[in-house]
Amino acid sequence: MLWLAWPVLALVSWLQPACAEGCALAAIILLGVPHGALDGEIARPWMRARFGIGWFAAFAVPYLGLAALVLVAWDVAPRSSLAVFLAGSVWHFGAGQPGKASVLRIVAFGGLPIALPSLFHPAATAAVFQTVARAPIPELSGILRSCALVWLLAAAGWLTQSDPAGRRRRILQAAGLAATFALLPPLVAFALYFVTIHAPAHMRGIARDPVRAPRVDPSNVMLRSLPLTALTLLIGASLLPLYDAGSGSFIDRLLALTIQGLAALTLPHMLLDAVTAAPAGRIAWDEADRNLRHYPTA
């Protein structure tokens, strides 16, 4: 079903280029944000075992606090925030893939959605990042291109090292993504990657894992993500006036808010992922889940 986004967004970008960015942002917000909203389901067993009915507040306050710190950092130091965001995104996209993680694999896989637009459309990609950072960074397209060339070496190294059985599939997948990023505007191609590859892989991983989010299974995964998705959209809408009209069109403001918002949510999202996916974290989570089954009213 999500694959329908591919022809729809491609057609919009070719027939109505003026609407393409707005449609890409709508896809990122409506179809991409729900994968992070499952964080509530991941935290629930462990937090409920400790904090009882007040578990959500005990979880949400530090989560939102971390996110708020990131938003302040974008305002105070936009260039460093962009650099940290890009490095964190590479890690987030690369580590989220199934299979054994290595640094080369994380860089090759995670760098793909950032390096490909930087190679094919350096100026347009740099323009989007400057709108996101709300600061002029004239040297950015050159930096992006150089980083993308280093990424090409890492990707080639990883492909030659990886096992021959899956190599053909990986080359085909990378070629499909390269075609997408070459043919479509950077934001549209990124939206397609985010909503049809990254978010579904994350949601499938959680839905099939009986320990991390015991209430979530493949039949209810979208439903379980709805409450916190709605709350996130409300919080996002309340922040829009802070992204003032003086700094560009409505779409530019929405772009800055959406990507800065994703960056802000990524910090607690990645921390939770690291804690619950690490072996020690999984044992603690498992125990909390057993306790909860023992004392279901806790």
Ligand X SMILES: CC1=C(/C=C/C(C)=C/C=C/C(C)=C/C=C/C=C(C)/C=C/C=C(C)/C=C/C2=C(C)CCCC2(C)C)C(C)(C)CCC1
99-106, long-range: CB within 8 Å, 24+ apart, which pairs?
Answer: 104/154, 104/157, 104/158, 104/161, 105/158, 105/162
Binding-residue total with ligand X (CB under 6 A): 31
The site string for Fe ion over 221-260 (x = CB under 5 A, - otherwise) reads ----------------------------------------
Is 74 in a helix, a strand, or coil? Answer: helix
| Interface region with ligand X, contact rule CB under 6 A, candidates 71-79, 99-107, 145-153, 183-191 | 183-191
Question: Toward ligand X, which CB reaches closer, 166 or 227?
Answer: 227
204: exposed, middle or buried (C-beta count within 10 Å: 0-12, 13-18, 19+)? middle
Of 120, 190, 243, 285, the one binding ligand X (CB under 6 A) is 190
Q: How does DSSP classify residue 8?
A: H
Q: What is the rounded distance in angstroms from the CA atom of residue 213 to the CA atom of residue 42?
A: 5
39 binds ligand X (CB under 6 A): yes
Query: Which amino acid does the sequence have at 242?
Result: L
Minimum CB distance to ligand X, residue 294 (Å): 25
CA distance 109 to 107: 6
Residue number, 77 or 162, with CB nearest to ligand X: 77
Quick one: what does residue 37 bind among Fe ion, ligand X, none, with the CB cut-off 5 to 8 Å set by partner type?
ligand X
Question: Cα dihedral angle (108, 109, 112, 115), rounded to 10 degrees?
Answer: -30
User: Does 141 sit near ligand X (CB under 6 A)?
Assistant: no
Any contact of residue 89 with ligand X (CB under 6 A)?
yes
Establish whether 269 is an annotated binding residue. Answer: no
Q: Is 294 annotated as a binding residue?
A: no
CB of 271 to ligand X, least distance (A): 11
What tokens appear for 153 in the block?
């070496």
- CA gyration radius for the chain? 20
Give the CA angle between residues 66, 286, 96 to the nearest 5°: 55
Q: How far is the CB of 39 from Fe ion (least distance, A)?
A: 10
Q: Say whether 121 counts as a known binding-site residue.
A: no
Which of positions 233-262 make contact with ligand X (CB under 6 A)?
259, 262
Among 156, 183, 231, 278, binds ligand X (CB under 6 A): 231
> Per CB under 6 A, which region of 94-102, 123-131, 170-178, 246-254 contacts ligand X?
123-131
Q: Are 144 and 201 in contact (CB under 8 A)?
A: no
Tokens, residue 157 = 């190294």
Q: Provide the annotated binding site.
A: 35, 92, 198, 202
Binding site residues, ligand X, CB under 6 A? 32-33, 35-37, 39-40, 60, 63-64, 86, 89, 92, 113-114, 117, 125, 128-129, 132, 186-187, 190, 228, 231-232, 259, 262, 265-266, 269
